[in-house]
Structure 1
Amino acid sequence: MRHFHRCSLTPDVVLEQADRYFGALGLVRGGADARSRTFSGTLGTLSLTVKMEGGHYTFVEVHTDQVGESRLDKNVKRYFNGLHRTADPRHRIEAGY
């Protein structure tokens, strides 16, 4: 699946949090360069890339090798929520219904 998120954090902060978050899930960091990471483990494999967009936004894109709503995909969404909380500590998760 493909997921994306826009945030006001710098790419370095986004990648640092990815290393910490996905490492804690037991995913091993594979290939990496200045703006991308690959993680793999028992949950599957994901590729994460970041790029500056419009000068003040960072575009975060994640591709997983999973089909449908897997545990890996749910953890990617939790990671995005953590990015939102880092950018705005007052952010709370609330149900939309």
Structure 2
Amino acid sequence: MRLFHRTSVAPATVIAEADRFFPALGLTAQARDDRARTFTGQLGTMTLRVRMEGGHYTFVEVDTDQIGESRLDKNVKKFFVALHRMADPTHAPTAGY
């Protein structure tokens, strides 16, 4: 599954947060370069890449080897929420329905 998120958080901060967040889930990190990581573990394998987009935003792209919405995919979405809270700590999420 491919998931993505745009944020105003700097790419180095996104990578540092990923290096903290995903090993806590039992995933081991392998650095591909300074803007990409591969995490593997019992939940599956995922590749995280970040790049600047338009000079203002950081584009975070994650590919997992899972089909459908697995536990790994749900945790990637939780990671995106953590990035959103880093960018805007005062934001109070509300239901969209």
TM-score (norm 1): 0.96
Alignment match, 2:37: 37
List aligned pairs for 1:57-96, cutoff 5 A: 57-96=57-96
Amino acid at match of 1:65: D
- Unaligned 5+ residue runs, structure 1? none
- Unaligned 5+ residue runs, structure 2? none
Identity of aligned residues (%): 64
Give the Cα separation in 2 of the matches to 1:72 and 1:92. 25
TM-score (norm 2): 0.96
List aligned pairs for 1:3-42, cutoff 5 A: 3-42=3-42
Q: The residue matched to 1:55 in structure 2 has which SS?
A: coil
Report how many residues are paired: 97
Give the Cα separation in 2 of the matches to 1:46 and 1:14. 15
Residue 94 of structure 1 and its aligned partner are, at CA, apart by: 2.1
Residue 62 of structure 1 and its aligned partner are, at CA, apart by: 0.1
Give the Cα separation in 1 of the matches to 2:45 and 2:31. 12
Amino acid at match of 1:73: D
Alignment match, 1:55: 55
Deviations 1:62-89 (A, max 9, x none): 0000000000000000000000000000
Runs of 4+ in 1 over 4 A off after TM superposition: none
Deviations 1:16-55 (A, max 9, x none): 0000000111100024211100000000000000000100
Q: Which moved more, 1:24-33 or 1:54-63?
A: 24-33
Give the Cα separation in 2 of the matches to 1:91 and 1:78. 15
Q: The residue matched to 2:22 in structure 1 has which SS?
A: helix
